[in-house]
Structure 1
Amino acid sequence: MRAMQFERFGGPEVLVEADVPEPVAGVGETLVEVEAAGVNFGDIKQIAGEHTDGPYAPKVPLPHVPGMEVVGRGADGRRFLGYVAQGGYAAKTVVADRDLVALPESVGAGEALAVLIQGLTAWHLLRSVARIRVGESVVVHAAAGGTGSLAVQLAREFGAGRIIATASSDEKRAAALEFGADAAIDGEAEGYRERVLDANHGRPVDIILDAIGGAVLDSALDTLGYLGRLVTYGASSRQQASAISPSRLAVESITVAGFWIVPLIARDGAGGAALEELLDLTARRRLRPLVGGEYDLARAREAHEDMLGRRTKGKLVLRP
């Protein structure tokens, strides 16, 4: 069976095409012929063997077929969206039934893959962690990315009063505006506070969704208002924030929270009301997941290189 795997840890170059045994479904599992597989930043971290004491730990046994999400069909022809702990970069994979959701033909494979990890992340950032209230202001970092573009749209769907997007280029900022942001600004740390406050008509903000960390997170804290919430769900800058202290959180009455979707899926499964809502919004075109590019499975390393090089927008898809 055709698959992409890695036999040592490293960069995108360690991904190689291989012929591997076809998986066998056990009790409570379904064998899925893969139509498309999603690419996630977590795949890159896993292949690199990074964060051995963090969320992507422990290092996986080698050789290993990465990939956490697939669209495909079961033996009976039914179309599914599914979360897998491993094995998505392949012609076929096995998915636990609790992590499978029926997928209508009207929803494209790339759209569906975008709302699984990234969409569920955006939904829970706003609903479960930040607990957004109607009329609140929301700042979304990296708003042209897979999670960010969906967070902008969901913030609008959930009744945000003003949505401020940050992105690294004019093109990406224009995309964020198309997705419903009220303002789009440069997200660099220098001058961050002034740009955000200006975009929010001089007022502090209520919610910030951050996947960058480091100096950007430090600057973002300076823009939170009373009872403001910053939710961190990544650190693409690979820098540590330095401005967080218990006394500051108390004095300023602000909250810094973290979120990672994988433990939630491990506990509850990928299915459920949140994913059903996301797919329904997509089918009704109230939610427009951004598909940034499609690659043949053999070009998986190129997809990773493009993601690392910040040359992409939205969801990247592999086609076996």
Structure 2
Amino acid sequence: MRAIQITEFGGPEVLELAELPDPEPGPGEVLVDVTRSGVNYADTHQAENSYLSPASLPLVPGMEIAGLTPDGHRVVALSSSGGYAERAAAAPGMSFEIPDEVTDDDALALVVQGATAWVLLSKTARLDPGESVVVHAAGGGVGTLAVQLAKRFGAGRVVAVASSGEKRELALQLGADAVVDSSAPDMTEALIEANGGRRVDVVLDMVGGRVTDESVRALAPFGRLAFYGMASRELPSPVQPANLMKYSTTVGGMWLPHVWRLPGEVMGTAMAELFSLVAAGNLKPVLGGTYPLAEARRAHEALRSRGTIGKLTLDPRA
């Protein structure tokens, strides 16, 4: 089968097209004929071995696939790696049947980015109706869905932060009440101004560095910042517990693989609700384009440039 393989860690240049044997499914796993592979920002960290879970070489990257099972069911599935290929093994507990009303590309937009936005709002930040929500990287896969879900979950005001006029206009079309340029010299001041002069209740942050520091300073008493990525590759300042108490604020982190291990059906509940919203036309995944499998390197370059909008996918059949 054709697959993208990494034999040394680094940037997009380490993604190479290769001919590899089909993967051997483990106990309970099924071999999926992949119709689309999802490209996730975490994949860029996996390629350079800077992700939360260390990688080992050689590696076929990718953790999101959509395709057909041997018995003909359309599924979207998660795996720790192996998604950038014509065939991939999927565990039943991390596979979700795609409704007829939902496309493969839409399903891939939901299984990591949609679930991330759902968990951030409902579990990490525990959004209450009427609260204000800041969504950083609002033009990305998580951000475009988080803006919509925040409104669906009852947010009083959604402030979208994005790097270009096109992305900020899209955020407004998706339901944001105000937008902020991500290059604002003082993010604290910009967020408070965009929230009508009031400090904000919830911040969803995957940027890191000064953006995180200045967003924490924009929180209202009992405000929460949910940290789920570090696209800037810059560490924020260490959190001082005394300051959390002094300002009655909370800083929390979220990594989606932990959700997979929770008791109960948290991931299943999230996917069922997301599928239902898309099927009913009440949630619109934003699709940023599909690249042939052989051009995975170009997809990573586009993602790291922060010039993309919405969800990127690979077509293993192209």
Residue of structure 2 in register with 1:273 after alignment: 269
Matches within 5 A, 1:127-206: 127-188=122-183, 190-206=185-201
Secondary structure of the 1:154 match is: helix
- Give % identity: 47
Matches within 5 A, 1:1-320: 1-51=1-51, 55=52, 57-60=53-56, 62-188=57-183, 190-242=185-237, 244-267=239-262, 271-320=267-316
Moved more, 236-245 or 71-80: 236-245
Instruction: Identify if the C-alpha distance between structure 1 residues 222 and 189 changes in structure 2 by more than 3 Å, giving closer, same or farther.
Output: farther
Moved more, 184-193 or 138-147: 184-193
Moved more, 270-279 or 151-160: 270-279
Cα deviation, residue 194, structure 1: 2.3
- 8 Å CA contact retained: 2:201, 2:223: yes
Q: Which amino acid aligns with 1:18?
A: A
Q: Which amino acid aligns with 1:30?
A: V
- 8 Å CA contact retained: 2:205, 2:226: yes
Secondary structure of the 1:106 match is: coil
The separation in 2 between residues aligned to 1:295 and 1:105, in whole angstroms, is 24
Q: Which amino acid aligns with 1:13?
A: E
Secondary structure of the 1:58 match is: coil
Secondary structure of the 1:285 match is: coil
The separation in 2 between residues aligned to 1:17 and 1:214, in whole angstroms, is 34
Secondary structure of the 1:228 match is: strand
Q: Which amino acid aligns with 2:18?
A: A
- 8 Å CA contact retained: 2:139, 2:162: yes
How many residue pairs align between the two structures? 315
The separation in 1 between residues aligned to 2:248 and 2:162, in whole angstroms, is 28
Instruction: Identify if the C-alpha distance between structure 1 residues 235 and 74 changes in structure 2 by more than 3 Å, giving closer, same or farther.
Output: same
The separation in 1 between residues aligned to 2:164 and 2:104, in whole angstroms, is 28
Cα deviation, residue 12, structure 1: 0.9
Cα deviation, residue 25, structure 1: 2.7
The separation in 2 between residues aligned to 1:254 and 1:31, in whole angstroms, is 46
Q: Which amino acid aligns with 1:15?
A: L
TM-score by length of 1: 0.95
Q: Which amino acid aligns with 1:248?
A: N
Cα deviation, residue 207, structure 1: 0.4
Secondary structure of the 2:142 match is: helix
Secondary structure of the 1:231 match is: strand
Unaligned runs of 5+ in 1: none
Cα deviation, residue 266, structure 1: 4.5
Instruction: Identify if the C-alpha distance between structure 1 residues 189 and 231 changes in structure 2 by more than 3 Å, giving closer, same or farther.
Output: farther
TM-score by length of 2: 0.95
The separation in 1 between residues aligned to 2:186 and 2:246, in whole angstroms, is 24
Unaligned runs of 5+ in 2: none
Instruction: Identify if the C-alpha distance between structure 1 residues 130 and 271 changes in structure 2 by more than 3 Å, giving closer, same or farther.
Output: closer
- 8 Å CA contact retained: 2:129, 2:154: yes
The separation in 1 between residues aligned to 2:261 and 2:4, in whole angstroms, is 24
Secondary structure of the 2:221 match is: strand
- 8 Å CA contact retained: 1:98, 1:270: no
- 8 Å CA contact retained: 2:115, 2:267: no
